[in-house]
Amino acid sequence: MTQVEWVIFDKDGTIIEMDSLWIAWAKNVYLNLTENSNFEILFSLQTFLKNIGVDDKGTSIDPTSPLAIGSIQEAETIVAYLLYQQGIPWSKGVTLARAASNLATSQQENSRVQALPGIRTLLMNLKKQGIKLGVITADQTARAISHLQQLELFTLFEFVLGSDQAVYSKPFPDLAYVAKEQFQVTLERTVMIGDSNADMLFAKNAGMCFSIGIIPKATFPKDYLPDATKIIDAYDESVLTMLIKKE
């Protein structure tokens, strides 16, 4: 087994609890569209949430959906497409979507985020073992940094990279190459931990030594991370052992 030098984490659903944060963001995008547009929005909030990946009850996010995996820019494209379907020109739809998205993001500046159980202990123990840590997320860099600072975890990481730092986000390996160039990340001695198959494909495409997918115990079905090397359902002592094991 390759000795691990780096562990790179996704953010949403991997370090922080995702559903409450991103469902609220999506609802604000829709409200901003309806309140700040000269056009009548013909699709309902429920239709919008369903198209972006929120379940019918409006309480959880499909882990394979655009809202779970995609970047904010990709979410904006979905909004623009829904607007285009109702007859709004693409250029105008893109402008409206970007404005609604930017406002929704700014409305969450003071939102409280919650760390996943066990993540703080794992990060601190990895640091004690001399393993370097990074974050690569589909979120924007500044927003990711703000969330990690709020949780008092930011200083544990060597770097934080969001989707705004490369042309293509996960599962494309571009952000891994940015990490390699800017922070001397040895990709062949790096492990990726994430909650989506895009994270697992990202690790594979970048040539990382292996990937770990986290699927919470309460989540069903559990077959949406087919490209993960290993699957865990919580951050416990076994995860640390897995990462520091040497052969």
The count of structural domains within the chain is: 2
Angstrom distance (rounded) from CA 115 to CA 105: 19
Domain shared by 95 and 174, yes or no: no
Domain boundary among 107, 124, 158: 107
User: Coil, strand or helix: which one is 191?
Assistant: strand
Residue 213 and residue 195 in contact, taking contact as beta carbons nearer than 8 Å:
yes
Domain shared by 124 and 233, yes or no: yes
Domain shared by 188 and 169, yes or no: yes
Structural domain for 222, as ranges: 6-17+114-244
Cβ contacts of residue 155 below 8 Å, gap of 6+? none
Question: In angstroms, what is the C-alpha Rg of the chain?
Answer: 18
Burial class (CB in 10 A: 0-12, 13-18, 19+), 151: middle
Domain shared by 91 and 81, yes or no: yes
Angstrom distance (rounded) from CA 97 to CA 46: 17
Residue 215 and residue 82 in contact, taking contact as beta carbons nearer than 8 Å:
no
Domain shared by 78 and 35, yes or no: yes
How far is CA 84 from its chain centroid? Answer: 27
Closest CA to 79 of 32, 137, 140: 32
Domain shared by 42 and 101, yes or no: yes
Both tokens of 28, joined, read: 């604000």
Domain shared by 176 and 223, yes or no: yes
> Does a structural domain hold residue 1?
no
Domain shared by 123 and 223, yes or no: yes
Domain boundary among 50, 81, 107: 107
How far is CA 57 from its chain centroid? Answer: 22
Q: How many residues does the chain have?
A: 247
Per-residue pLDDT, 19: 87
Both tokens of 51, joined, read: 């198209």
Cβ contacts of residue 205 below 8 Å, gap of 6+? 171, 172, 173, 176
Count the Cβ atoms, other than its own, within 10 Å of residue 192: 30
**H or E segment to which residue 20 belongs:** helix 19-36
Residue 135 and residue 110 in contact, taking contact as beta carbons nearer than 8 Å:
no
Per-residue pLDDT, 1: 55
pLDDT tens for the chain, residues 1 to 247: 568 999 999 999 999 998 888 999 999 999 999 998 788 899 999 999 999 999 988 888 998 899 988 889 999 999 999 999 999 999 999 999 999 999 999 998 777 899 999 999 999 999 999 999 999 999 999 999 999 999 999 999 999 999 999 999 999 999 999 999 999 999 999 999 999 999 999 999 999 999 999 998 776 677 899 999 999 999 999 999 999 875 4
Domain shared by 146 and 218, yes or no: yes
Per-residue pLDDT, 218: 73
